[in-house]
Amino acid sequence: MELSQRLDLGGLELEDDTPADTFSRLAGIVEEVAGVVVKQSSRFDDTAIASLDRIEMAVRIEEAFGVRIDDTVLTEHPTAGELADYLEEKQ
């Protein structure tokens, strides 16, 4: 029996195929640093994340995932889901 069945989380689904663990960790960092709750479809440019928070967020993502994050990465992966996919690929 899967954990989601034991915890009765069967209806919980993500918007795409990004593993929940990677996206959840990323979303937690964003919320902790910037106080912004993101979904996989959330565009970073559409959020109220200040530039200093973006820098701190990038540093924490690098520390948590061991993947280099710079402005180019954030530009090429504009949504939280796309960034989570990138992190998953690069780990």
Burial class of 29 by CB neighbour count within 10 A (0 to 12, 13 to 18, 19+):
buried
- What pTM did the predictor assign? 0.76
pLDDT digits (tens, 9 = 90+) for 7-29: 444 444 444 555 569 999 999 99
Over 80: is that where the pLDDT of 61 sits? yes
Q: What is the mean pLDDT of residues 45-67?
A: 93
| Residues pairing with 43 in the sheet | 79
Number of helices followed by number of strands (H, E) in the chain: 5, 0
| CA nearest neighbour of 88 among 10, 24, 11, 2 | 24
Domains and CATH numbers, the chain: 18-90 (1.10.1200.10)
Over 70: is that where the pLDDT of 44 sits? yes
3-state class (DSSP) for residue 87: helix
Tokens 């109220």 map to which residue?
A: 48
